[in-house]
Amino acid sequence: MSKKILIIGSGIAGIAASLKLKSYGLESTIVDKGNFIGGRIGTREEKVGKNTYYFFHGAQFFTAKNNNFKKIINLGIKEHYIKKFGDFSPPRFRGFPTMRNFLTNISKDINIQQNFKITGLKKINKKISALDEKSKSWNVFDAVISTIPAPQNLELMNNFPVLKQSLKTASYDACMALMFYFDEHPLKIPDYFEFYNNPSILSWMAASNNKRYWTAHTKGSYSNLNLDTNKLLIKNEILSSIEEFLSVFMNRPNINFSSLHVWKYAKIKQIVVGKQIDPEFPIAIAGDFMEGPNVESAFISGEKAAELVFNRLG
């Protein structure tokens, strides 16, 4: 069965959907408006002299309960682009040497086009037409799976009211990700901290694969309230919280600010209540907003969308 299938979004949900379609013998093309694949499985580069270091400014790890996701993880461990992270139960994993390497390896046989934004979707006969922002042209596909965050997906679904209604039920917490580094390699501290039951504005902070380079994320309550706050004020407030906490482990912690990234749709707070595929047309939605706030949930959602589309194309 030869079909032309478009997937919008090159995060884990989109890649999972493409891999699942491939297992059915169907090829697909993934497009994404960003510079790099991964979505919130992000990696930020920092150049210091001739050396390049990395911050993991999005998801810090992933867990695996689903059998298909476990197979992906086990293959990555075998081929050395996934490593176990810390000593947690259930086990936590990371891409190696960066989080993004996880996705670049599992997607190496998929056609992915970055810096490619879809700005419209409409019905045409029993197919779906997609509007390319750059060329301003409409291209027809046998099926579409859209995996971008629910609020952005809403903008594309004006012609698909059932999916639009589903997407309206999802909600997110925002997050401020502050990247910082130590002057010297810190010896006396763990590489991961959680603050969920703590009054701190921080939710967690963690080292990358180099312990000098860290990312701290703020709690949703703080982030939601401060989306429009001056970023310099936010930076200083987060740095103060980090320094105050680290002072328990070291005198005058010597940390340096690198950058601040705002994830407007960071963590799903309310998953979708409603349909994942249009009742008539071969268009589906996928992402953490369908299943839950973690990498594995987005993967599962992508696979489910692919199965729904495959059955619809039948």
Q: What is the mean pLDDT of the chain?
A: 95
Angle at 191 between CA 189 and CA 197, to 5 degrees: 90
CATH fold of the domain at 172-268: Polyamine Oxidase; Chain A, domain 2 (3.90.660)
Task: With beta carbons less than 8 A apart as the criterion, state whether 84 and 92 touch.
Answer: yes
User: What's the pLDDT at 17?
Assistant: 99
Separation between Cα atoms, residue 286 and residue 44, nearest integer Å: 25
pLDDT at 244: 93
Global pTM? 0.95
Rounded CA-CA distance 89/260 in Å is: 30
Domain with CATH 3.90.660.10 in the chain: 172-268
Pick the CATH number of 5-37+107-170+271-313 from 3.40.50.300, 3.10.20.30, 3.50.50.60, 3.30.70.20: 3.50.50.60
Handedness of CA 165, 167, 173, 174 (dihedral sign): negative
Residues (pLDDT < 70) of the chain are: none
How far apart are the C-alpha atoms of 288 and 270, rounded to whole Å? 10
Which residues of the chain are in CATH 3.50.50.60 domains?
5-37+107-170+271-313
Sign, CA torsion 297/302/305/307: negative
pLDDT at 197: 87
| Cα–Cα distance for residue pair 198/205, rounded to 1 Å | 13
Residue 222 DSSP one-character state: H
